[in-house]
Structure formats: C-alpha cells, structure tokens
Amino acid sequence: MPVKFSDGEHALQLHQCYMSLAKNCSHEEMFSQTEQERIPILNVSTFLDNKGDATHSKCLAFAESGSTLKLSPVFIFNLASNPGGSSVYAQQFFENLNGGFAKWKMARGILSSPAILQSWSNLNPKRHKGLEEMIASARMGLEQQRECPARTWTMGVDIREPKAKQKLYSGCCITLINRNVASSGEAATAYAKSLKNTIIIGENSSGIGSFGEVRDYQLKNSHINLNLPCKLFIASDCVEARGYLPDFWLDSPEPVKEAVRWLKQPESYQFEFPTAPVQGK
C-alpha cells in the first residue's frame, strides 16, 4: 500500500492478520479442556448440536465445565474460528462460572407465525436435544394458531444486573477471537463480557449476528427451499459485518501460546496484564 510522507512516497507491506489462521480443536471434538503453565485452557470450536446425543453431550460437558473454574484466578477461553450453533451452552457455561449470572447485552425481537411454529413442530426432539420444551410448546401453539392465525413480534431487552447475593467469578477470562467467530460464537463473546474481568484478544469477529433461529421452509408449488430467520438481535458493540472488537489486537496464528506467555511474562510485551493472576514464571 503506497503512503506519502514529507520525504516522498513509500510502499507499506500489508498482510492478512495471522490470527485468522488460528486453529482450534476439531468440529468433531467440539470442546477440549487442557492446561499450560498451570493456566486452564478451554478450546470450543463450535456450538452446533444438531447431530443427536453425541454432540449434545459434548456441548453439555462444555457448559458444565464452568463450575470447575470458579476458583481459577485466570483461564483462556479459545473461541478461534467458532462459527456458532446454539447460544444456550455459552449462557449455561457463564451462569455456572459466575454464580448464576450471564448477560448478553442486546435488544431482541422474536417473530411468531403459523409457518414458524410449524417449522419448529416438524423437528424431531430426539435429534435436537435441549429443544424438547420449545418443540412441545410450538406444537401446542400451532393448534391455537389454526383456530386464530396471527403474526406477531415480541420485543425485549436484557436489563438484568447481578444480585447482591450472587457469588460472581472474581478471576479473569482471556477470550480469544478472530474473524471466523460468528453467530453464537459471538454470543459467547458477549456472555464473556458479562464477567467483571474479561480481556478479549485477537482480531474483530465476523459480525454475523443480527438474525438468528433460522428456519427451513419449502414453497408449496415450486418446492424451492428457503432459510429464513425468526429472531432479530441488536447489540450496540457488535456491528454487522464488523463484529466485536478486541481489547488487544494480536497478529499471531498461535494465540493460546501467546496468551500464556503474556500472562507469565507480561514485561516482554508492549502491554502488560492489568493484574498478576498467575504466580511464578
């Protein structure tokens, strides 16, 4: 890229941020918990749970792992290249970690109609673990809609604050994101921000989160298949196509390694860790 200074024009060499190349555990593995230098590391590659009991149990294992980290002074939450899935598991994880409190700072609109209820009713609850109540509710609502069909929007905003009696997580969560983090991966980023001490490192996320709960439809005569959302999300700090911005930008394909080194040797980096949660070198 050419840039001009008082002494003339210079060529500035640019490259795609190496953070985009950061790897996570495989989508088949979905979730793994490891440790480096006494620092817990959670790798979460996807929140997709649409392949039956196996994937659902792995997502639940991630959600339940929040309870095991309550006494950890710091942990690394690696979301690199997580394309999303169901935001329920990230919410449950942070509730388990943070004394029952997890907040996604956004406003939302939920559309309901006979077609949407029908699409939920068509799901097999045995293949969609965790959605059994929603599917049952949709089937009941569909019967009511047949008598009096209606298309309605339900609007809401999460204004909750933690209660005085809730024992909140006092440690620090180092969240790693890149531009391949999207949808419910970005929701997980938002829930991480509900902690008292969260530092987001990497590059901006995808910014694919304005619409959710995509439903499948087939037109009656043409048999054209459509995928249309039934939820609208508006988050002031997550701009569509730009995503969430990190607190610290990182140009490395090995963010976990860099984060561990930063925590152990903060003086070797341009920006030092605000506190010293990890004792020893």
Output the pLDDT for position 55.
Answer: 85
Give me the residues paired with residue 202 across strands: 177, 249
Residue 180, CA atoms < 13 Å, CB-side half-sphere: 18
| DSSP-based three-state secondary structure for 238 | coil
Is the Cα torsion angle 30, 194, 243, 226 positive or negative in sign?
positive
φ, ψ for residue 69, nearest 5 deg: -105, 5
Band of residue 127 on the pLDDT scale cut at 50, 70, 90:
confident
Query: Does residue 277 register a pLDDT over 60?
Result: no
List pLDDT tens digits, range 84-118.
Answer: 999 999 999 999 999 999 999 999 999 999 999 99
Higher pLDDT, 143 or 51: 143
Q: Which of 142-146, 151-155, 247-251, 277-281 has the lowest mean pLDDT?
A: 277-281
Question: What torsion, rounded to 10 degrees, do the Cα atoms 95, 101, 103, 109 define?
Answer: 90
Query: Does residue 275 register a pLDDT over 70?
Result: no
| Pairing between β-strand 225-234 and β-strand 107-112 as defined by DSSP bridges | antiparallel
Q: Are 35 and 76 in contact (CB under 8 A)?
A: no
Give rounded-to-5 percent helix, strand, coil for the chain.
25, 25, 45
φ, ψ for residue 6, nearest 5 deg: -60, -25
Q: What angle separates helix 88-97 from helix 53-65, to the nearest 10 degrees?
A: 30
> Could you give the angle at the alpha carbon of 90 between the alpha carbons of 84 and 95, nearest 5°?
170
Q: For residue 77, give the nearest of 168, 199, 183 by alpha carbon.
A: 199
Output the pLDDT for position 280.
Answer: 42
Q: Cα(134)–Cα(138) distance, rounded to whole angstroms? A: 6
Band of residue 53 on the pLDDT scale cut at 50, 70, 90:
confident
Residues near 54 by beta carbon (within 8 Å), at least 6 away in sequence: none
Q: What is the DSSP letter of 213?
A: E
Whole-model pTM: value is: 0.90
Q: Cα(26)–Cα(41) distance, rounded to whole angstroms? A: 15
Q: What is the pLDDT of the chain when averaged over all its residues?
A: 92
List pLDDT tens digits, range 1-45.
Answer: 899 999 999 998 888 899 999 989 998 899 999 999 999 999 999
* Residue 261, token pair as written in the block: 């080194």
Output the pLDDT for position 274.
Answer: 65
Query: Does residue 272 register a pLDDT over 80?
Result: no
Output the pLDDT for position 156.
Answer: 95
Q: Cα(143)–Cα(130) distance, rounded to whole angstroms? A: 22
Q: What angle separates helix 132-147 from helix 114-121, to the nearest 10 degrees?
A: 140
